[in-house]
Amino acid sequence: MPATTVTLLAKPGCHLCDVARDIIEDALLDFPQIELVEHSILDDPALFEQHRDDIPVVLIDDLVHTIHRVDSARLRAALAAETH
């Protein structure tokens, strides 16, 4: 089974992105086998066009988990499901 990856699509100076990152990093303390990857939408024109009004975006294994506000309990439940 391939390793699970959480991807955060964000941009510098985005308060909601900072909050999302903190929630994700805290959740991942319980899931050390899961990797966090972060991409700035400013570095990728396609990502910018797709998500400029909808960040942060959190993906689990390339599937959208949440947009805007990350719920810690919901994220943890999804990560637990991915690891079992």
Q: Is the pLDDT of residue 1 over 70?
A: no
pLDDT at 12: 95
Condensed to tens digits (0 to 9), the pLDDT of residues 2-47 reads 689 999 999 999 999 999 999 999 999 999 999 999 999 999 999 9
- Nearest CA among 62, 2, 56 for reference residue 25: 56
Whether the ω angle into residue 32 lies within 30 degrees of 0, i.e. cis, is: no
pLDDT band at 83 (very low <50, low <70, confident <90, very high): confident
| Helix ranges, 9-44 (H) | 15-28
pLDDT at 84: 79
Q: Mind listing the pLDDT tens digit for each residue in 53-80?
A: 999 999 999 999 999 999 999 999 999 9
The token duo for 62 is: 């390339």
Q: Which residues of 11-49 are buried (b: 16+ CB within 10 A; e: fewer)?
A: beeeeebeebbebbeebbeebeebeeeebbbeeeeebee
